[in-house]
Amino acid sequence: MISRVAILGTGLIGSSFALALKQRATDLRIVGCDRPEVLTRARAAGIIDDAESNPVEAIAGCQLILLAAPVQANLELLRTIAPHLPPDALVTDAGSTKAGITALATELFGGDALRRFLPGHPIAGKEVSGVEHADGNLFVDASWVLTPEQGLHALIAPEFSRGLHAEFMRLLETIRARIVVTTPAEHDRVLAYTSHLPQLVATALAATLLDAMQNQPGLRELSGRALREMTRLAASDPRMWSDIASQNRANLASALREMEQALARLRLSLGTEEFTHEFERARRFDPDATLALKESTDPPKFW
């Protein structure tokens, strides 16, 4: 039974998860692991019960361990704690890329990988980071994607019908997240378009404006809400996104090429009927529609 949770990385996601558990699963004791100054703020805000800057010490006696650092740091954390895991502890993560860390878990745990590690990713966040922005409602009605290596086929394993996997999923339901199951590869392919590409588009737009509008008087008066909304994501942490881009490079490169082609079509169609056609195509896009996924992969399943 899960009674003690270690959260390695008490930034926005980790501290929000801790706060959500505090608000809705009050019988849990939560250990935070981060830099001492971050832990001081987390403890003062009542987000964690115990603070430990050493990850090996932080996981002692814990049944659930969440890796909530940037994706590259999560890989190093998993390597560090793997030899020291309590016998029945379950490790999960909140990283935005899944193939790399899932492969590492297989390397570290071998045939025991499914029992010891359940990769995950909450589709939630803000353009700001840090424990001071913790939000206990961040995951309400948000998808929390679980990506065991075999996707939906892994659900027949006994781990998912009893034990810590089932308890962890009940905790996700308690914080009102929506559980989705798919494969690591399909997660990374889809997220390249739905999450990573929008970030890079916002970054490119902000950089373009920065270069084009230097020393431009009256910029505030000549820009509106649309510009602010489109460039909001450009304020995101560049170190975090550098890690994500490195881990999901092939998928993201493919998405960027398609985006470049779409921009080229707009540029070449200026003043023609094709320009209107591109707008009409774009208007048919519905972000709430069900994605048509490749037949060769498991479709995401809502729990």
| Residues 146, 267 within the same domain | no
pLDDT, average across residues 231-256: 93
> What is residue 299's predicted lDDT score, i.e. its pLDDT?
45
| pLDDT score for 87 | 92
Residue 40 shares a structural domain with residue 169 = yes
Q: 27 and 122 share a domain?
A: yes
Mean model confidence pLDDT for the chain? 91
Q: If residue 143 lies in a helix (H) or strand (E), which one and from where to where?
A: strand 143-146
Q: What is the pLDDT of residue 303?
A: 45
Q: Is residue 86 one of the residues assigned to a domain?
A: yes
Mean pLDDT of 189-215: 92
Q: What is the pLDDT of residue 290?
A: 61
Is residue 57 in a domain? yes
Cβ pair 151, 183 in contact under 8 A: yes
Average pLDDT over residues 68-92: 96
pLDDT for 237 equals 86
Least confident of 70-74, 244-248, 287-291: 287-291
Q: Name residue, tokens 């003690």.
A: 4
Q: Are residues 21 and 104 in the same domain?
A: yes
The verdict on residue 26 lying in a domain is: yes
278 and 130, same domain (yes or no): no
Domain shared by 64 and 103, yes or no: yes
Which domain, by its residues, includes 135?
4-183
> Partners of 67 in the beta sheet?
8, 93
Reported as a single tens digit per residue, the pLDDT across 11-40 is 999 999 999 999 998 889 999 999 999 999
138 within a domain of the structure (yes/no): yes
Q: Count other C-beta atoms under 10 Å from residue 293's C-beta.
A: 14
Q: Which of 125-129, 231-235, 289-293 has the lowest mean pLDDT?
A: 289-293
Mean pLDDT of 269-288: 92
pLDDT grade for 295, boundaries at 50, 70 and 90? very low
Last residue of a domain, one of 116, 149, 183: 183
Q: What string of DSSP letters covers 13-59?
A: HHHHHHHHHHHH-TT-EEEEES-HHHHHHHHHTTS-SEE-SSHHHHT
